[in-house]
Structure formats: C-alpha cells, structure tokens
Amino acid sequence: MDLSVCYQCKKCTSGCPVSGMAQCPPSEVMRRLHLGAGDELLNSDIIWMCVSCETCSARCPMGIDVAAVMDALRKLAVERGAGKPEGNVPLFNRAFLKTVAMFGRTYDIAMIAAYKLGSGKLMADTEKFPTMLRKRKIALLPPTGADRKTVRRIFKKTKEDRAGR
Amino acid sequence: MHQSTLAVAEALGIELVEPEGWTCCGATAGHQTDRVLAAALPAATLVKAADMGLDLVVNCAACYNRMKVANHEITTNKQVRVKVADALGRDYDGSVNVRHFLEVLLDDVGVDAIQKMLRGSLAGTKVASYYGCLLVRPNDVTGFDDPENPTSLDRLVHAMGGTALDWPHKVECCGGGLSMSRTDVVINLTDSIVGMAKMAGADCIAVSCPMCQINLDMRQLDIARRQGNHYDMPILYITQLLGLCLGIAPERLGLNKLMISPAKVVKAVVAA
C-alpha cells in the first residue's frame, strides 16, 4: 500500500465517527506517516479509539486502506509495549480471544470477568447484569459444541508464526 | 435474532442447516491482533460449509464481514492462504459463498413473494433502517447493497406496510466492538444515532446485526443516565418485524429479550 498518494483531502477525517473525540484524526495519521513520525502515533489515542468501521477506507479517493493502517499501528503498539491506552482495548481483545481459544466460541461471563479484573472497572455495567441474565442475553454456562480442537490449533500456530516473524 | 431468524426461515420455507462445530469468527479483536488469525478463525467454519457443499448464511454484520474478508484474503494473498492452511491443518481455497440472511430474503425469496405471505401490516409505523458499518464496508469485498445509501431493510419495511424513513445515519458506526472497552466513545456514537432516528420521527429502529442491536438497545440506559436523553426507542431485528407480519407468535421471536420494550411496535401491527 502506497501511503504517499494521500493528498490530505480529509474525507477520512470528515467521515470518521471518532475524529471529534480523538487528538489525532485519520488524515493527520497519514500525514505523520509521510513525515516519518510513526513512532509517536503508537502512543496516540486514535489507534485505540478507532472503531474499525472502515468509513475512512471506503471513502478514500486514492483507495488507501486507512483502517488497515490503523490495524498495523495497533499491532506495532502492542508489540513494542507502547503506553497503556485509555480503556485498555488490548486487554479486552486478549480477554475476548482467550475465551474463544478455550471454548471455540465467546463465553461472555468469563470474558467480562477477565476484562474487569484486568482493567479494575469492576462496577461498569453491573446494574444491567440481572436483566441480561434473566432475559438470557448472557449465558451462565460455557458454550458447548464448538470444534475446539481446530481453534486451539489455529491459536497455537498463529502464535508460533508471530514469534517467528 | 437467532430465534426470529429460525422462525422466519421456517415460515418462508427456507431450510437452514447449522454447521456442526462452528466456531467464533474472532470479530474485531481478531483483526486488531493478527492478520492470519483473523483469516483462519472464519476459515475454520467456512471449511465446514465447504464440506457440506452449502452456502454459508450469516445473520450478523460483523461475522458476515469477517467471513467475507477471510475469503478475500485467502483468494488474493497466497501467503495468507498458505499460513491459514498451516493453522487449520488443511487447505481452504476461499470459495464458499458467504451470504447475509437479508440477501437470502431479498434475492432468493424476493420482496413480492414475501409480500404475498404476509398476514399482518406495520400499518404505516415509521421505521428507521440502520445498517451500521460492517455489512456495507469494505464494499468491494462485501458487495452488499449501496455503501452510502443501502435500501435492503427499507425495501422489506415498505413491503410490510411500514414507512421507511429517509434519514442520515443508516451507515454510521455504533462502535459495537468498543462497547466495553471504550464505553464513553460508544455512548456518544449511539446517542447520536438513536437521537437522529428520534428526530426523523422513528417509532423504532430496524437492525440486522446482534452487535448493533444490543449496543443501540442497552446503551440507551446509559444515554439516559449520563446524557439525560430519554429516547425509549425500540431496536428490533428486521426478522422480528417480519415475523410479526408473517403472523408468527411474538413469543417465538425473542421479543422479550429486548431491553427497550417493543410493545408499541407489536401493538401497531394489524391484520392485513
């Protein structure tokens, strides 16, 4: 992907649902990359505020996949242990993927518990739990029936692949 | 969504077969973490559909998106295909046809045929159709409808006798993937979407993705508390609206699972 074709039209920023909340909107991410200032971006709030909605990629007149750039920045930030981001999205991602790796499907209660313990946000959304349990929107028991063997293999192999890179 | 999809499929004579052992697509957490993982997780379910010789029908915008992107990655990037094969323990060529249930409704059954089977009407109920991001983007990969002004849901609403509202937030993002980790961001996004639907005069919002549903529905409690905006806007799956109009009993459509009561919408449905 050739990022140098970006001519700063700011269509990505105009359509970005979080550009008004983030310090560094997507068009500025592009400009910083042009200037070789990518390292600073790893500590920028936009990379963990980005909702992966892909509006930026869809509207870029030069066909730049801005959302893929955001994914790449997130991976680099995790790999290099950049500053702990607000809200701790990487922790959520780890908690989510951990239950998938164990059960083959999401197991909300375990995922939520792991995230809450890690983030210290113990009380967030707890007032909704009784209703959600009563309405069976979240299950108490872990999911069964998934092909756990294949999923475990996928996690093991992709972990080895990342380590080898 | 699961219940209403099964009930509507049965009423329309569509036979759905659940692939045995299906697994999670990895969702946003997957693609934010690792490109191969993000393709291999959906591929684990896609190969099961390949073995069955069937299309894979999905009724969640996020799963649909991940399945389509995985197929795209596997067919266009040899390196990804090889690595996915290594992770899965077998090769997968990316050829399984992935379809959203809406596409089955509109392209296979068709609006005319559906209309003939209706036993009830939305009787002018004003419905804001919300598509969110992952059905329509990236459009060269998902190929779903028009990326800026999709009309699939609107066409169904219209066929059911509802008023399909023209409103600007059809494809805005609700922030589903960050609902827990950046609740502050998500409250802003959902407030803006539900608020816009309210301003457009909507009686309810129709969705076709469980992530959009729970986010727009449940976060209204936080919007009321933190922003002071009380919308009381029912967020229904299109399959629930369709089920009601097909004369399926509300108990079979999972309506009791919604956080904001859909009672006024259920009451608005009249015999056609």
pLDDT digits (tens, 9 = 90+) for B172-225: 999 988 888 889 999 999 999 999 999 999 999 999 999 999 999 999 999 999
pLDDT at A86: 58
Q: How confident is the model at residue A87 (pLDDT cuts 50, 70, 90)?
A: low
- Looking at the structure, tell me whether residues A106 and A160 fall in a common domain: yes
Burial of B79 (C-beta count, 10 Å sphere; 0-12/13-18/19+): exposed
- Looking at the structure, tell me whether residues A20 and A75 fall in a common domain: yes
- Looking at the structure, tell me whether residues A119 and A68 fall in a common domain: no
Q: Between A52, A150, A155, which is nearest B177 by CB?
A: A52
Looking at the structure of chain A, the number of domains it has is: 2
Q: Any alpha helices (H) in B53-134, and if so which ranges?
A: 61-76, 78-88, 101-103, 111-117
> How many H helices and E strands in chain A?
10, 0
Q: Which domains does chain B have, with CATH numbers?
A: 2-100 (no CATH), 110-271 (3.40.50.11810)
- Looking at the structure, tell me whether residues A102 and A44 fall in a common domain: no
Q: Does B16 touch chain A (CB under 8 A)?
A: no
Q: How confident is the model at residue A1 (pLDDT cuts 50, 70, 90)?
A: confident
Decide which of A44, A79, A114 is a domain's last residue: A79
Q: What is the ipTM of this complex?
A: 0.90
The percentage of residues in chain A with a pLDDT greater than 70, rounded to a whole number, is: 96
In 10 A of CB B153, how many CB atoms? 26
Task: List Cβ neighbours of B82 (8 Å cut-off, separation of 6 or more).
Answer: none
Task: List Cβ neighbours of A117 (8 Å cut-off, separation of 6 or more).
Answer: none
Q: Does B183 touch chain A (CB under 8 A)?
A: yes
> pTM value?
0.93
Decide which of A79, A101, A126 is a domain's last residue: A79
Decide which of A28, A47, A79 is a domain's last residue: A79
Q: Which domain holds residue A146?
A: 89-164
- Looking at the structure, tell me whether residues A33 and A97 fall in a common domain: no
Q: Is residue A122 situated within a structural domain? A: yes
- Looking at the structure, tell me whether residues A58 and A126 fall in a common domain: no
Residue A82 predicted with pLDDT over 80 = no
Residue B265 predicted with pLDDT over 90 = yes
- Looking at the structure, tell me whether residues A104 and A56 fall in a common domain: no
- Looking at the structure, tell me whether residues A129 and A70 fall in a common domain: no
Q: Is residue A158 situated within a structural domain? A: yes
pLDDT digits (tens, 9 = 90+) for B73-118: 999 999 999 999 999 999 999 999 999 999 999 999 999 999 999 9
Q: Does B24 touch chain A (CB under 8 A)?
A: yes
- Looking at the structure, tell me whether residues A62 and A98 fall in a common domain: no
Q: Is residue A84 situated within a structural domain? A: no
Contacting residues of A for B213, CB less than 8 Å apart: none
